[in-house]
Chains A and B, each alone.
Chain A
Amino acid sequence: MGGFAEYELVDGDDGGNVLVLSGPYLVSTIGAVERDLRALDGEIRKVDLSGVSEIDTVGAWVACSISSDFGAEIVGANERAERLIGALKGMSSEEEISAPRLPMLERVPDAIGQKVYNARSGAYGVVGFLGALLLSVGSLIRHPQRFRWLALVRQLELVGVSALPIIGLMSFLIGVVIAQQGAVQLAQFGAETLTVNLVGRLTLRELGVLMTAIMVAGRSGSAFAAQIGTMRLTEEVDAMQTIGISPMEALVVPRIMAAILMMPLLGFYSAAVAIIGGAVVGQFMLDIPFWTFLMRIQDVVPIHDLWVGLLKAPVFGLIVALAGCYHGMQVKGNSEDVGLRTTMAVVTGIFAVIVIDAFFAVFFTEVGWG
């Protein structure tokens, strides 16, 4: 018994050709002969399966389709082949395997149109979500006993406390980089001592809060979207509603509150650690003693820089958490959507933070806190 599917065309006694198949006709062996079998031409009267040692549905399928292509009769099939061929009768179909796709020329405008349309409904959705959030905050103020303190504390821990190590490390390194790079540039004017101003003002006013917002978007905004999205998929959110718990109050408000409360603290912490990083560079590279660097900060950084940072922080927290919760609540369909929405939560969160930061920069300069 050979290990290959083989075939042979012989002249039949009644004039027509007989296609004699032999060897195993299985899914594992069919690949080698199928193309050649289909390419056969001429007239075939019979397909002889008596030499076939093994057959499965794929072999039977090929035999069937050849016999119907040539109008040939199948002979010599053993019991098993007979049964398989019988089972496969009438199963041919022309249905496309892949889902229908538009041609390229239509697909691109279609995708752009969808995007534009969705952007409009997206903006509408965010505003609606913000409104719903304010409503539930309002009703929580009227019924404070419904407020979920435990959930809030848990979220404060997740958003704030557990972010301390990574934000600390990041801020320290940012402080080091600003001080070191700033000193190299300022040295050209002989003004290395201004490095203190650079590090202090930049981190307190801008970078501390901005980098923290980005980190919180990556850590917590994505987590909000993924958690709430998964809860939507598993119908937990629906279950809450039927029990009479508002998902807005139970899931969204504690997360957004946690982000709003934690962002100023994290932003200030980040700025402080960055200044320490700058002071370390001062100590080792610029001959400014560590404590002197810190003292100078008090003199050169106006207090309104701190206020600028602290005022921006809760707004950034709101934006990041809102993006996370909004996208989480929008999840529907399948697990792929959770991933998609999580990505969108992070991207829109960071983008919106940077846009708002630009507005803040102009605003605070205009009001004289330059």
Chain B
Amino acid sequence: MAQDETGRNLERHERFRGEYPIVVEGLTNRFGDQVVHEDLDLKVRRGEILGVVGGSGTGKSVLMRSIIGLQVPAEGDIHVFGRSVLDTDPEEDDGIRNRWGVLFQGGALFSTLTVGENVEVPLKQFYPNIDPRLRHEIARYKTILSGLPEEAVSKYPSELSGGMKKRAGLARALALDPELLFLDEPTAGLDPIGAAAFDNLTRELKETLGLTVFLITHDLDTLHEICDRVAVLADRKVIAVDTVPNLMELDHPWIQEYFNGPRGRAALTAQALDELRRHMDKPPAANVVKALDKANSKKDKA
């Protein structure tokens, strides 16, 4: 009873097996005289959550827009899943676009559609042969998976709070089971509890679905809690990509200011610092990780 009579569905994709789903090389972006990026390089590893930080106006969002093909760069090469985003002809590059999901800053939900219909849009667009019943089911479980109550499926975006809009946007970004997820400041404007819940959700989704996450954020807690590595944008380049403890060692003024400023320090708990002092004989970076882990597990228990 082999299922071959339909022949409708010839598209098949295998999950990306290479090491770097996103490779940005020599990227230059200009707006008039203003140079946003100059010769910027960045590689994102498969299965990691890469946090992208940088001061306002350093072009974090422009970098994301370049990678997802909304902003054509002046120079440089961008490969996603080993294929160039820039040379692909818009008709043909479906092979990339149905494998990523994007959560824009404000959610960018279609305001005339309900949350459920929003989630259905990419499904209808890319896989019209999915039965409407299954499509409705997918829309429902993706909405619940994103942490919304089930009643939210039939609500319009204008009836949702800011945090719920972000979750609904996430549900739409996850509609096609992407391998790559772009999040633009997902926790901005959320209350600390909501932000922590969103962080947990991101990490859980990454682990269960095997996602690679490109995460733009200003939230130091997010960086400490869920990012595997952090890329720092400054001086029109990515000046460092590393784990948070290793970055804190670096001697760059902006990085020092950012991670060791009052807010950066506050994100490290007092307990973590105590732990650090007690183990000064061991390499500091490893201590920070350990101290943070301990602090977190204690927090979780409490």
Contact = CB atoms under 8 A, between A and B. Distances in A.
Interface string A78-101: 001001101110011101111110
A310 to B, nearest CB: 45
A4 interface: yes
Given A28-B9, A36-B3, A98-B117, A92 B141 contact: yes
B111 A334 contact: yes
Contacts of B151: 95
A366 B278 CA distance: 101
Given A6-B2, A334-B158, A95 B12 contact: no
Nearest to A28: B11
Nearest to B119: A97
Given A27-B123, A65-B137, A3 B177 contact: no
A159 B54 CA distance: 44
Interface of B: 1-4, 6, 8-15, 98, 111-112, 114, 116-117, 120, 123, 126-127, 129-131, 133-134, 136-142, 144-145, 150-151, 153-158, 176-177, 204, 207-210
A336 interface: yes
B130 A34 contact: yes
Interface in A97-124: 97-100
A54 interface: yes
B141 A54 contact: no
Nearest to A55: B177
Interface of A: 3-9, 24, 26-36, 38, 54, 56-58, 61-62, 65, 80, 83-84, 86-88, 91-93, 95-100, 333-336
Contacts of B114: 97-99
A95 B1 CA distance: 35
A97 B117 contact: yes
B169 to A, nearest CB: 15
A336 B145 contact: no
Contacts, number: 131
A334 B176 CA distance: 28
A8 B177 contact: no
A96 B12 contact: no
Contacts of B142: 57
A34 B9 contact: no
B140 A95 contact: yes
A38 to B, nearest CB: 8
A32 B129 contact: yes
B154 A100 contact: yes
A58 to B, nearest CB: 6
Nearest to A80: B210
Nearest to B127: A31
Closest 8 A/B residue pairs (Cβ): A97-B116, A31-B129, A3-B12, A56-B177, A93-B150, A91-B141, A31-B130, A32-B9
A249 to B, nearest CB: 30
B75 to A, nearest CB: 34
B176 A32 contact: no
A32 B3 contact: yes
Nearest to B111: A334
Contacts of A33: 3
B1 A28 contact: no
A27 to B, nearest CB: 5
A23 B70 CA distance: 35
A61 B3 contact: no
Contact of A8 (B1, B126, B156): B1
Contact of A97 (B13, B139, B177): B139
A129 to B, nearest CB: 25
A97 B143 CA distance: 11
Given A3-B12, A29-B12, A31-B8, 14 more contacts: A3-B10, A4-B9, A6-B4, A28-B126, A29-B9, A30-B134, A31-B131, A32-B8, A38-B133, A57-B145, A61-B141, A95-B116, A96-B154, A333-B158
Contacts of B133: 38
B218 to A, nearest CB: 22
A26 B117 contact: no
Given A54-B14, A80-B210, A97-B139, A34 B134 contact: yes
A111 B120 CA distance: 28
Contact of B1 (A9, A27, A65, A99): A9
A341 B142 CA distance: 35
Contacts of B136: 97
Given A31-B8, A32-B6, A84-B209, A93 B129 contact: no
